[in-house]
Structure 1
Amino acid sequence: MGKEQFSRMNAKAPRHDPLHVQLMGPSENDPLPQGKQPRAKAARNERKNKADANFVDAKLSRKILSIAQEQQDEIRREERGGLSSDDDEEENTFGKKAASGGNRNFIPTIGDSDEEDSDMEEADDFGTFDEIEIDQRDAELLAKFMPAAPKEKKTLADLIMEKINAQNAANAAAAAAAASGDVVVPGSEKKKGPLDSAMDYADDDETGDNRPMPMGLSPKVIEVYSKVGLLLSRYKSGKLPKAFKIIPSLQNWEEILYITAPENWTVHATYQATRIFTSNLKEKQAHKFFSLVLLDKIRDDIADNKKLNYHLYMALKKSLYKSKAFFKGILFPLCESGNCTLKEAAIVGSVITKVSIPVLHSAAALLRLADMEYTGPNSLFIRVLLDKKYALPYKVIDALVDHFLRFKMDPRPMPVLWHQSFLIFAQRYKSDITPDQKQALIELLRFKTHEGISPEIRRELVNSVARGEMLPEPTDDDMLMDI
């Protein structure tokens, strides 16, 4: 007989433990077999790590609760910002009740709307700007630099009315020529397109507005955009009509925008419109929208409430992403108006401080402000732009030097804003001026002084190395100290 082969399959299973031992199960304190010791230890460590992971210490708990409280406060703040005190229960533009809820059966009559591009962005630093406090003497000095007659400001309605009056004059001239017997060449009349109508004006009953409407538009177009304007005058939140979103793509977008009556828009609608027009219009067209619509809304709100509404502030911030259009449509008209208040300048300046601007656009803005007729807000904007510490071209540096030097023989004392902008210029760009400019600015301090600011300006200029100057050679004592 051969030897029986041993195999694990044929091996007898070890005798089981007694029943009462199996029921009790192994304990963590029981000694484990030598071969199973590492695995059991790893299992115990894993259980311990899981228990530690589920534990949150007191410091982390306080931090989590603080973040949750801030989020709740922000939600409540946004809800209060999206509703006026008089319209908390009023139905919004698209049939949704404001925060308390309500009837949702209203369906807009103008087309469908796309989903909103994005929600309102965070603005934790909204409205934070340095409050400018000036005494009575400085206020009188600033008043001396204000023009006697502020520059006349044109609105979108004025622009459209000029076109309407010009068209009326042309029609009257054509009618007079026809009455005098002049021959009219066939086909010389302007042919009307499919959207045009024989009616030059919309009926007051259709639009509900007594304003004259642009000529050459279909009554249906006027009716649709008049209803869009009515919706925007009540808009709080939700989707915008497609008819409004396509306005930037229209060739006569100014006339269509005029029909919607931008002066009656809510602040929420103004913000949404600014987002759409900033994203879809070119620089030249966007600066018209900023100048004719957004600037007036901002100034009126500041004049009425002594501060700027959250949504208008965000609209102003959004407009700065087209910086060239922002400067041409908001900053320059504001400075040239002649009646810009320091509060308006401080709010606009705070937006400029928070948003990054291309260097060339900032340089061009400084060049324009330096050559502009001086007012107090000009110095504030110059100070804000200089404080961004951009590397400016020498042409801009020279223009700023000339800007300060032109007041050397001015008999009027300069306001503190002028001295502050002078100090910022000396601190940031003292190494970019020529030696002659440096001496001229030091000489200027003899004529225009401020007891608290002028000594600092002199110290910055005297201890600086001008453009083209050689650095002073170290003395022997300095060399010995280095060794």
Structure 2
Amino acid sequence: MGKDQFGRPAAKAQRHDPLHVQLMAKAARNERKNKPDANYVDAKLSRKILSIAQQQQDEINKEARGGLSSDDEEEEQTYGKKAGSAGGANKSFIPAIGGDSDEEESDAEDEGDFGTFDEIEIDQRDAELLAKFMPTAPREKKTLADLIMEKINAQNAANAAAAAAAAGGNDVAVVPEKRGPLDSVMDYADEDETGDNRPMPMGLSPKVVEVYSKVGLLLSRYKSGKLPKAFKIIPSLQNWEEILYITAPENWTVHATYQATRIFTSNLKEKQAHKFFSLVLLDKIRDDIAENKKLNYHLYMALKKSLYKSKAFFKGILFPLCESGTCTLKEAAVVGSVITKVSIPVLHSAAALLRLADMEYTGPNSLFIRVLLDKKYALPYKVIDGLVDHFLRFKMDPRPMPVLWHQAFLIFAQRYKSDITPDQKQALLELLRFKTHEGISPEIRRELVNSVARGEMLPEPADDDMLMDI
């Protein structure tokens, strides 16, 4: 039988292609497979589209209602509503167009934690007890405008004294005041660029006053986008307080306040940052809580950003709030929730606890002490001793203590019962005879009785003697 002349072409068809040809063909298939769809829109572009659509819808709604602006609507958004609710994303939390991408991502991460704090519910009896510990003469609060006004009045008084001495022809020498960042030559101006009748620093260039007055006008209407470069350089200026005063921080929107807090927290030193927090940010936060009974989302995020300079936060936010004598439980709950969420250096936390323990007592002080103790840091013995003295000083106080004080006492006993001395342990047990709470005091006693104080020997196990006998 002869050879099959027709089998060879079929055999050739079954042969594999060379390896490099197969790899190139596979790469081409993968490239076609991974080629992005022309109709696909990524997440960042989707956010921008939704933001534009929201702005257009706000304009339509504004025309339909006849005057209510979208800024007024967004200021009503607070941490009573979460960004990730079941009905979908909260539209007011959509990142603004023109913002930095890292800012948008960080804001999106923080929205999930926004508003998650424990509401403080107290009965009428506890409210009356807390009122007894409020100071009779609250400390007067000071704003940035008040600080500038003091400098202006002091400078005018010095100029008037010098003029009177020169006119009288006497030899009285006027000692010049020590000059600081606010001590430029200042006087009263008729009116600033924003139309407000208020004193303005006149030692500055008129062009500078004009520029930053316009920046302040922009910040009073700011909603989204990039801030002017003239505003971003303020932290690097020696007289940054004067320049900031020109922008009228009391008129900033909540969006501008948040962006300003990010800039000043990142670029100011601790001493300067605590001035910004106490003179600008604290008043904005307290005013918003007093007006709306809750805090705006952007101001909450500004408060959270300020805690990244923890030393300045304590000096500029926490301590002035406690020393004001008018701190409400709502304000304390908001600030306490921020402290709970952010990690704080141990030494700064310890110094804050020691300062709170030495302050004149108010109800919010106990709340802040409880929050800081609940972070479970290893505190120095000096702080432990200060906290023990804080609780013991109320032993002979005839007033009954509020439940917040007993809660802070319980947290201290649970977390640091092994760090107190035997004498302190006995003193705290004796304190429970004078200051009792039917639900909390038994728990405190149980924690102290079953603890091993600092310097005490651990009890030997009961089974050791039995093992030796065997």
**Would you call these one fold, judging by a TM-score over 0.5?**
yes
With over 3 angstroms needed to count, the CA separation of the structure-2 counterparts of 1:230 and 1:90, relative to structure 1, is farther
The residue that corresponds to 1:19 in the other structure is 19
Does the 8 Å CA contact 1:197/1:219 hold for their aligned counterparts?
no
The residue that corresponds to 1:175 in the other structure is 163
Percent identity between the two aligned chains: 91
State the shift of 1:477 in Å: 7.6
Does the 8 Å CA contact 2:129/2:401 hold for their aligned counterparts?
yes
Measure, in 2, the Cα distance between the counterparts of 1:191 and 1:19. 84
Deviates more, 1:160-169 or 1:76-85: 76-85
Matches within 5 A, 1:271-420: 271-420=258-407
State the shift of 1:283 in Å: 0.2
State the shift of 1:122 in Å: 3.0
1:194 aligns with 2:181: yes
Deviates more, 1:43-52 or 1:265-274: 43-52
- Give per-residue Cα distances to partners, 1:100-158, cap 9 Å, x unaligned: 99999999999999999986653211021100000000000000000011111111111
Measure, in 2, the Cα distance between the counterparts of 1:327 and 1:215. 34
| Pick aligned residue for 1:163 from 151, 157, 182 | 151
Does the 8 Å CA contact 2:71/2:223 hold for their aligned counterparts?
no
Does the 8 Å CA contact 1:386/1:425 hold for their aligned counterparts?
yes
Matches within 5 A, 1:254-269: 254-269=241-256
- Give per-residue Cα distances to partners, 1:355-405, cap 9 Å, x unaligned: 000000000000000000000000000000000000000000000000000
Which ranges in structure 2 are unaligned for 5 or more consecutive residues?
A: 171-176
SS in 2 for 1:179: helix
Note the aligned Cα RMSD (angstroms): 9.5
With over 3 angstroms needed to count, the CA separation of the structure-2 counterparts of 1:213 and 1:377, relative to structure 1, is same
Which of the two has greater helix per residue? 2
Does the 8 Å CA contact 2:417/2:451 hold for their aligned counterparts?
yes
With over 3 angstroms needed to count, the CA separation of the structure-2 counterparts of 1:432 and 1:57, relative to structure 1, is same
With over 3 angstroms needed to count, the CA separation of the structure-2 counterparts of 1:10 and 1:334, relative to structure 1, is closer
Does the 8 Å CA contact 1:91/1:97 hold for their aligned counterparts?
no
Does the 8 Å CA contact 1:379/1:418 hold for their aligned counterparts?
yes
Measure, in 2, the Cα distance between the counterparts of 1:461 and 1:126. 36
| Pick aligned residue for 2:94 from 97, 107, 111 | 107
Does the 8 Å CA contact 1:93/1:231 hold for their aligned counterparts?
no
- Give per-residue Cα distances to partners, 1:404-428, cap 9 Å, x unaligned: 0000000000000000000000000
SS in 1 for 2:109: coil
- Give per-residue Cα distances to partners, 1:298-355, cap 9 Å, x unaligned: 0000000000000000000000000000000000000000010000000000000000
1:87 aligns with 2:44: no
Does the 8 Å CA contact 2:216/2:252 hold for their aligned counterparts?
yes
Aligned residues: 461
State the shift of 1:175 in Å: 1.1
Measure, in 1, the Cα distance between the counterparts of 2:313 and 2:276. 10
The residue that corresponds to 2:126 in the other structure is 138
Measure, in 1, the Cα distance between the counterparts of 2:210 and 2:57. 43
Does the 8 Å CA contact 2:417/2:453 hold for their aligned counterparts?
yes
Does the 8 Å CA contact 2:82/2:111 hold for their aligned counterparts?
no
Does the 8 Å CA contact 1:401/1:437 hold for their aligned counterparts?
yes
With over 3 angstroms needed to count, the CA separation of the structure-2 counterparts of 1:198 and 1:104, relative to structure 1, is farther
The residue that corresponds to 2:174 in the other structure is none
| Pick aligned residue for 1:455 from 442, 447, 456 | 442
Measure, in 2, the Cα distance between the counterparts of 1:166 and 1:450. 53
- Give per-residue Cα distances to partners, 1:240-275, cap 9 Å, x unaligned: 001100100111111111110000000000000000
State the shift of 1:197 in Å: 11
Measure, in 2, the Cα distance between the counterparts of 1:125 and 1:210. 42
Measure, in 2, the Cα distance between the counterparts of 1:298 and 1:473. 55
Compute the TM-score of the two structures, normalised by the length of structure 2. 0.77
With over 3 angstroms needed to count, the CA separation of the structure-2 counterparts of 1:197 and 1:139, relative to structure 1, is closer
With over 3 angstroms needed to count, the CA separation of the structure-2 counterparts of 1:460 and 1:235, relative to structure 1, is same
Does the 8 Å CA contact 1:245/1:276 hold for their aligned counterparts?
yes
Does the 8 Å CA contact 2:184/2:203 hold for their aligned counterparts?
yes
- Give per-residue Cα distances to partners, 1:438-483, cap 9 Å, x unaligned: 0000010000000000000000000000000000011138966999
State the shift of 1:3 in Å: 21
SS in 2 for 1:333: helix
